[in-house]
Amino acid sequence: MSGGHPSVLVSNRQPLPVDEAALIALARATLEAQGQTKTELSVSFVSEREMEDLHVRYMDLSGPTDVLSFPLGDMDENDVKVLGDVIIAPSVAAQNNPTDPAAELRLLLVHGILHILGYDHEEDAARAEMWALQERYSGVRTP
């Protein structure tokens, strides 16, 4: 990482096409807009089966989901804040929005990042704030 820009590490473990460069740029822009510059984020694109396994293991819920976030907030040896992991299942994203799966991936990535940064959508006011940020950063409107 140089110049205080966020570092985004990507692991793509599934067969669908994903515009990794565009999603890395979006993740960086989202983190910078949130004041998270000296940070590191891991983003994984996984198969539906792997996502289902993670969903059961960590959330105790059956079936695959579209995105999971695992915040860490640890500092590494270079005083870089390791934010955590955002895990996305592109096949589930495509089912969510078959007409524009790329838009759905942008939305899910920003959604996962915001969760890692402490945003929630359980209460109406918190949901409105999170949805507004998601739309601003991803360019995708949430119904």
Query: Over the chain, what is the mean pLDDT?
Result: 94
In this prediction, residue 2 has a pLDDT band, given cuts at 50, 70 and 90, of very low
Q: What are the beta bridge partners of residue 11? A: 44
pLDDT score recorded for residue 77 = 80
The answer to whether residue 1 scores a pLDDT higher than 80 is no
**In 48-85, which positions are buried (b, 16+ CB within 10 angstroms) versus exposed (e)?**
bebbbebbeeeeeeeebbbbbbeeeeeeeeeebbbbbb
Answer yes or no: is pLDDT of 143 > 90.
no
Of residues 80 and 102, the one with the higher pLDDT is 102
Residue 59 corresponds to which tokens in the numbers above?
A: 């959330």
Report whether CATH 3.40.50.12780 matches the domain 7-138: no
pLDDT tens string 31-57? 999 999 999 999 999 999 999 999 999
